[in-house]
Amino acid sequence: MDKYKQLKEEAYLANLEIPKQGLAIYTWGNVSAYDEKLGVFAIKPSGVSYDKLQVNDMVIVDLNGDKVEGKLNPSSDTQTHLELYKNFDSIGGICHTHSPYATAWAQAMKSIPLLGTTHADHLANPIICTKPLSKEQVENGYEKNTGILIYETFKNPTLGQEILNVGPYPKSPLIAKENPMVLVGGHGPFSWGKDAITSVYNARVLEEVAKMAMWVNNLNPNFNQLPQHIIKKHYERKHGKNAYYGQK
């Protein structure tokens, strides 16, 4: 009996959702699924294309970063996933892609301003873009430091990139559970959620929001942030304590 069977299946199905949602070509994305009780996560093997991927190709890694099960090498981004699981509360899945609109924002080194209810339905803050990693951060554990950079920037958002056209980033820390996505400057998007499939859902949300925001900038370079009372309303009708969106 395989105690990781369910976790591998969850990771496997979520990885297949990446090409289905058009979030990456070839092998340019990976998802992991985390089991807090077992203290391990299942992650896509490195460089395997989605159409050849099998459930049992998933690699099981523990919180020391050691491989617990699996024949293949885990994703080269494994250390980034690990750091996020260790430092962010209540996360059960992480997704990384190179989806084109979100990646363009990351390469442009700009945080995505909050311009509409599509964005506010999912998070109540701009989508932060980190600074690019320094030479030292790259040379001494690049992937691990990518994870550290993300949560350091969440703790102190003023370390992040300017929000396009709207000004510097706010000073209060961001809560990972309520802000399930980030851009790494010069690289691309990472997203997360209560489980693996939700992390891919959030990757798709990010791509759609990134696309809309780019077009807004084309249509009206003098745009403003969505008024705060609308942000609050949309976020809370889906995620607040009196949320009334969806079914109970």
- Count residues near its own copies (CB under 8 A): 62
The structure tokens listed for 75 are 């994703």
Q: What angle do CA 141, 144, 150 make, to 5 degrees?
A: 130
Report, in Å, the least distance between residue 238 CB and its own copies: 8
Is 62 considered catalytic here?
A: no
Query: What is the DSSP track for 18-48?
Result: HHHTT--STT-EEEEEEETTTTEEEEPBTT-
Question: Cβ of residue 232: shortest distance to its own copies, in angstroms?
Answer: 8
Strand intervals (E) in 115-187: 181-184
- Strand order across the 181-184 sheet: 67-69, 59-62, 40-43, 29-35, 93-97, 188-193, 181-184
Strands (E), 83-196: 93-97, 181-184, 188-193
Q: Is 121 a catalytic residue?
A: yes
What is d(CA 192, CA 93) in angstroms, rounded to the nearest whole number? 5
DSSP tag of 117: H
Q: Considering only residues 88-117, where is the footprint of its own copies by CB under 8 A? A: 98, 100-101, 103-110, 115-117
Kindly state whether residue 215 participates in binding its own copies, applying the rule CB under 8 A: yes
Task: For the CB of residue 228, give the shortest distance to its own copies in the complex, in Å.
Answer: 9
Please report whether residue 169 would count as binding its own copies according to CB under 8 A: no
Question: Which x/- pattern, by CB under 8 A, does the window 3-42 give for its own copies?
Answer: ----------------------xx-x--------------
List interacting residues with its own copies (CB under 8 A). 25-26, 28, 45-48, 72-73, 76, 98, 100-101, 103-110, 115-118, 132-135, 138-139, 142, 164, 186-188, 201, 204, 208, 211-220, 223-224, 226-227, 229-230, 233, 237, 244-248
